Structure 1
Amino acid sequence: MEKLCRDLLKEWCEALLRLQIKNFRDPRLNGALLCPACGKIHGRCFEAMYPFLCMASREKEEKWVAAAERLFTWAEQTVSQADGSFLNDIDSGWTGTTVFNVIQLADCLLFHEDLLSEKTREEWKQRLRQGAEFLYQFDALKDNNINYPVSNALALYECGLVLQEESFKRKAEELVQIAEAMLTERGLLFGEGVPHERKSPRGCRPVDIGYNVEETLPSLALYGHLKGDKEVLAVAERGLRAHLSFLLENGAWDNSFGTRNYKWSYWGSRTSDGCGLGYLLLADRNQDFALAAAKNLKLLNECTHDGLLAGGPHYRLAGQAACIHHTFTHAKVLAGVLDRELWREGKEEVRLPRQREEKIRYYPEVESWLVTKGAMTATVTAYDWEYLPGGHASGGTLSLLHHEQAGTLLCAGMNLYNMKEPNNMQAPFRVRQECLALRIEGETAGILYSSLYEDCARISIEGDTVTVSGILKDIHHKRALGREQKYCFCYKFEENRLSICAEFEEGILICPVVSGADEPAAVSEHGNALKIQKEHTAIMVESPYGLDLPYGTERIFNLVPGLQALRVQLCPHQGKTGFSIRVC
């Protein structure tokens, strides 16, 4: 793990350094990192200061110190504010992300102040103090998404250490108490949605797996580690352990239903830092933690192309450039692991908790079921805590199907791609972008009605079979006037096979089967079978009703979570249709 951490950090930082604007007269541009995917400068790009200094310490090259200093100077000229805050972006008024800016600046000084001149060191410390004083009085953050107050606790505690200021530490102790009451009975962290305490009509809590494992729980773990707070560490350990049920064998996170899954990027979340540091900090407490960190790190490496971390496995195949936001935030975690010498060698042949037991797990706080059968695992969700219209799937959708050898086969990202955070999300570029979710849908009077928008679906379990019933609804969860568009799904799980039966009278059944453009795919002569050759195995999609591929073998794509798929669709025959997916 140490070698992979070291090599990947170097690869990422070299790519970021190539994108740094140098020797430019305008101080609002000079020193910044230019994003090739977004064609802009991301306001948080100066967080690469910390990984650059980590590189300077390891490589003994002055160029890294100079690059970090250029980033600091640029930030002071652009996103730095008189009240001590930093803007999230040059054209944004949001200053909540000051917590992350301050954490990385504190890390620069905690680990690498010896690389700086006395003048620079004092200048950075003074700026850190200004940031800490702003965060100290920024009480509104407590009422924002849970990642903010918890990260603020870490930011202020680190400031207290660097600046030897006890008042910052005391404020951090006050803030961290918020998280201790935010774990559900099963250990899932809630609060990624406001108000934190609001329950949905089905009694669900606001939960986002991506933000939890990449931002909030690692911040909690690091705070507990720095302070030596056993109670906080116990809370962090419980939360990190519970979330392992959503980690797939290939290191990907299942956030197919999360409140903020519009930023889901398969390995985590677009603008958060990463899960590795949190799990490795507590690896001595649970042997699965090192394994989780190792598998996720391996996936990060696999999703890296030309030195930049892409938002998912199929970005390059789909012709999408990698946004640098993924790289500079996740580089901070690799730097943190290396600076603290946290690497562990997990036994990769051991299965993760999700795949270890054949059973169906129910999570009422997100109204979702995790099904594991042999090498297959799936998620069925009727989650109804809505962060934005058209966000995550509901309606009893089979939102994820993953096989140990074949990889992810079905996957629901966003129902309707919506750049909820324009500065923090990527626009699709010359690609056929469509919803990837398995669904039944149809139009009435120009309005789309879909099983994805059903917020009152009924779910029943019998053995290895999950049955769903509901009514097609529009994006606002309204049914068509004068129409009762009922539907029923039956998901039957076997060792290497999933059978899906669907009953409905109107519309079509759409099943995007995840497949990269580099995988050979062919439809049988009679049109009732589709074979896709994967790297280690093959899958067969079969239906006695016949399969319609409207685009042939051209792939569709979605930035959430960065996957390509073959669009397969079926029409009902006397109110029924169905198909199976078999790994062979």
Structure 2
Amino acid sequence: MKRREFIHTTALTGIGLSLPFANLFAKVDPNTFHSEEYRVLVFSLLKDWCDGMIKVQIINPSDPNVHGLLDCPACETIHGRVSDAVYPFFYMAEATGEKKYLDAGIAVFEWSQNVSQPDGSWTNDVDPNSWNGTSVFGAIALAETLKYHGDLLATGRRQIWTDRLGEAAEFIYRKFPAIDATNVNYGATNIYAMNLIGNLLDEPKYIALSKKLAAEVKKYFTAPNSLLYGEVKPSAHKLSEKGLPGVDLGYNIEESLNSLALYALHEKDEELLELVQKSLASHMEFMLPDGGFDNSWGTRMFKWTYWGSRTCDGCQPAFSLMAGYNLAFGTAAFKNTELLKRCTADGLLHGGPHYLSHGIKPCVHHTFAHAKSLAVILDHWDQMPTIDQSNPLPRAKADGLRYFEELDTVLFSRGDWRGTVSAYDAEYYPKMDLRQATGNSLGMLYHNKVGLLCVASLAVYRLMEPLNQQDAPGKDIALTPRLETFQEGEWFTNLYDLPASFSTEDQNGEIRIWGDVKLKNEAREILQDSASGFRITYLCSEKGMQIKAETRQVLKQQTSFTIPIISKNTEPVEQPEDHVIIITKPEGIVKIEANVPLTIIETEKGRTFNMVPGVEALPIKAEFVTQAVELRITVI
């Protein structure tokens, strides 16, 4: 339902809720705990987010249809899960003693009556027929509120909320009786939900189900890298044509592994703890040195935001609580939290590093979802090991090649350069092409001095989840570097060549990744009447990055290698020669050279912007003049 239709002409003013029990507050000084620097970062960011959510909260007690709702600055839809914010609001209320947070928490939870259903669920939208599986996340948020901060509620209201939790628990008990009831993130999350609520409400059947699901989920880790699989439809067990499982880094690292870690630590499930430790370590290899995640290949990368995934909760709980098993987990949690802070403005988390520079408004869903994770670790601080940045991330110190066979994806590192090449052919949803990086494409190029240089986006941006994604601003231009041509207006590119494969070698200081690809349309039909077969070669040394694309076939129509370079619209661009483009970034100068003329594709704001993963780019095209295009990227 449209937000305007729902709110009507309600005045967005009102009064706060009464607080007859303010003496229950206990102020907390965030500087009195271990890991002081991390604690101050987490606490201050959570407070900033809570204040930001209060700014957009509608307070109008005379109209229960809107009272307590978080009015999203970006979306014309009602976010039915706003009541998840009850937990971070209640944490902040108890930590600061400020009444405004308790008022906000009570109001936002009691707004959820607008999405409450007779079966005990909450729907993801005010439409009663919309998806209700997200009730598992709302149930966890309510349970954690009652467990850790329930004494802030008057007795009568606390009992009402507890009864409502019981109704939600019955629903998710029935909804997710097995790990593969739907995507793996729901079954995995229900392990923690049933354990948490079962202990809180003293209901043995919930605890029994959590143990059953915990035993099942141990079969959902890949070999040899222990990646959690099952983010694919119509079945969590579906394999691709290459026999590869459906894996998504964003959902795994920001949702499923959090719940598995919380459950395994509470139950002292050593077998599951070992699996979670291995899985976190493998997922951590995709974290860039600045704390961003490389989910260029993930099955659900249509919600990739560089810091994680749009509607998930954040990576902080698992990495922080498991840091005693691997000290680099603490570094990962710290650096990602710093990135979240850099992507925050006016109290709201923005969906990527360049939202502000391109004038994109933030969806409030990012903030209320990720605020929960910060509240979790603050409430578990005494159970956490010391968190600092003394142990480097794997990708910060990496050198050479790291191949993930379950993903047909390789990470490469040399000097300051980091990159990813993928031929992963898993498809999330067979009825809608949500093309992540594949076809031997360069899904990520990063330099330690200047940061992101290239990233993948969807080949075509689509709203797989319209209530959970923002519309694309302006013309949709894919960010994934690619070969492409148009035949009678139809797009042919290597991004649709799912059977493609590549080879690798690392000799004499130079990494070489190469493979043959075909130009195909979205229907996976090979281009006719012009060159369709090409070889793409990536060469990386300490001096720079080279890309070569060549064909032995006859080029009968205009074909190019297009390489969007990640760049804010404030960064100066020069083209001193027709085959050279220079971008001046705050941290250094990026030089792109080619053996053919380079053309900057015209865009409305001097840059294209893609919601995946929330960045601006300067789209550059190198047209084939002969049968080969060669590009070189250096950083000065």
1:239-273 CA-to-partner distances (Å, cap 9, x unmatched) read 11111110100000000010000000000000000
Partners of 1:119 and 1:408 in 2: how far apart?
A: 53
The answer for the alignment partner of 1:52 in structure 2 is 89
Residue 151 of structure 1: SS of its match in structure 2?
Answer: helix
User: Does residue 538 in structure 1 map to residue 571 in structure 2?
Assistant: no
User: Does residue 329 in structure 1 map to residue 369 in structure 2?
Assistant: yes
1:130-170 CA-to-partner distances (Å, cap 9, x unmatched) read 11111111147632111000101111111112101111100
1:484 Cα deviation from its structure 2 partner: 5.3
Query: What amino acid does structure 1 have at the position aligned with 2:141?
Result: Q
Counterpart among 283, 290, 304 of residue 264 in structure 1: 304
Partners of 1:79 and 1:25 in 2: how far apart?
A: 18
1:528 Cα deviation from its structure 2 partner: 2.0
Mapped contact 2:324–2:385 kept (Cα < 8 A):
no
The answer for the alignment partner of 1:87 in structure 2 is 123
Partners of 1:355 and 1:188 in 2: how far apart?
A: 21
1:392-432 CA-to-partner distances (Å, cap 9, x unmatched) read 12110011001111101010111100000000001134x44
1:443-502 CA-to-partner distances (Å, cap 9, x unmatched) read 123321111001121312132111121110111212135655112211100114101111
Query: What amino acid does structure 2 have at the position aligned with 1:334?
Result: L
Query: What amino acid does structure 1 have at the position aligned with 2:480?
Result: A
The answer for the alignment partner of 1:579 in structure 2 is 631
The answer for the alignment partner of 1:518 in structure 2 is 570
Partners of 1:358 and 1:259 in 2: how far apart?
A: 27
Counterpart among 432, 448, 455 of residue 411 in structure 1: 455
Distance change (3 Å), C-alpha of 1:496 and 1:42: farther
- Structure 1: where are the runs of 5+ without partners? none
The answer for the alignment partner of 2:505 in structure 1 is 462
Q: How does 1:1-80 map to 2 (within 5 A)?
A: 1-76=38-113, 78-80=114-116
Shifted more, 433-442 versus 344-353: the winner is 344-353
Shifted more, 325-334 versus 59-68: the winner is 59-68
Mapped contact 2:461–2:472 kept (Cα < 8 A):
no
Shifted more, 138-147 versus 35-44: the winner is 138-147
Residue 548 of structure 2: SS of its match in structure 1?
Answer: strand
The answer for the alignment partner of 1:475 in structure 2 is 522
Query: What amino acid does structure 2 have at the position aligned with 1:454?
Result: D
Partners of 1:393 and 1:372 in 2: how far apart?
A: 19
Partners of 1:473 and 1:426 in 2: how far apart?
A: 28
Residue 38 of structure 1: SS of its match in structure 2?
Answer: coil
User: Does residue 197 in structure 1 map to residue 249 in structure 2?
Assistant: no
User: Does residue 290 in structure 1 map to residue 330 in structure 2?
Assistant: yes
1:76-109 CA-to-partner distances (Å, cap 9, x unmatched) read 2x11111111101113521110110000000001
CA RMSD in angstroms comes to 1.6
1:177 Cα deviation from its structure 2 partner: 2.2
The answer for the alignment partner of 1:102 in structure 2 is 139
Partners of 1:164 and 1:3 in 2: how far apart?
A: 35
Residue 150 of structure 1: SS of its match in structure 2?
Answer: helix
The answer for the alignment partner of 2:578 in structure 1 is 527
Counterpart among 188, 196, 208 of residue 248 in structure 2: 208
Mapped contact 1:149–1:176 kept (Cα < 8 A):
no
Shifted more, 223-232 versus 286-295: the winner is 223-232
Partners of 2:630 and 2:455 in 1: how far apart?
A: 18
Distance change (3 Å), C-alpha of 1:286 and 1:259: same
Counterpart among 147, 150, 153 of residue 191 in structure 2: 153
The answer for the alignment partner of 1:351 in structure 2 is 392
Mapped contact 2:307–2:339 kept (Cα < 8 A):
yes
1:348-403 CA-to-partner distances (Å, cap 9, x unmatched) read 36431123231211112111111111111110001111114142121100110011
Partners of 2:457 and 2:539 in 1: how far apart?
A: 22
Mapped contact 2:77–2:467 kept (Cα < 8 A):
no
Partners of 1:535 and 1:448 in 2: how far apart?
A: 36
The answer for the alignment partner of 1:372 in structure 2 is 413
Query: What amino acid does structure 1 have at the position aligned with 2:229?
Result: F
Counterpart among 604, 610, 615 of residue 563 in structure 1: 615
Partners of 1:482 and 1:575 in 2: how far apart?
A: 16
Residue 533 of structure 1: SS of its match in structure 2?
Answer: strand
Distance change (3 Å), C-alpha of 1:40 and 1:199: closer
Give the count of matched residue pairs: 581
Residue 13 of structure 1: SS of its match in structure 2?
Answer: helix
- Structure 2: where are the runs of 5+ without partners? 1-37
The answer for the alignment partner of 1:180 in structure 2 is 218
Mapped contact 1:21–1:32 kept (Cα < 8 A):
yes
Partners of 2:505 and 2:274 in 1: how far apart?
A: 36
Distance change (3 Å), C-alpha of 1:27 and 1:140: same
Mapped contact 2:90–2:145 kept (Cα < 8 A):
yes
User: Does residue 497 in structure 1 map to residue 544 in structure 2?
Assistant: yes
Provide TM-score, normalisation by structure 2: 0.89
The answer for the alignment partner of 1:437 in structure 2 is 480
Provide TM-score, normalisation by structure 1: 0.97
1:551 Cα deviation from its structure 2 partner: 1.9
The answer for the alignment partner of 1:121 in structure 2 is 158
Partners of 1:10 and 1:264 in 2: how far apart?
A: 25
User: Does residue 310 in structure 1 map to residue 350 in structure 2?
Assistant: yes
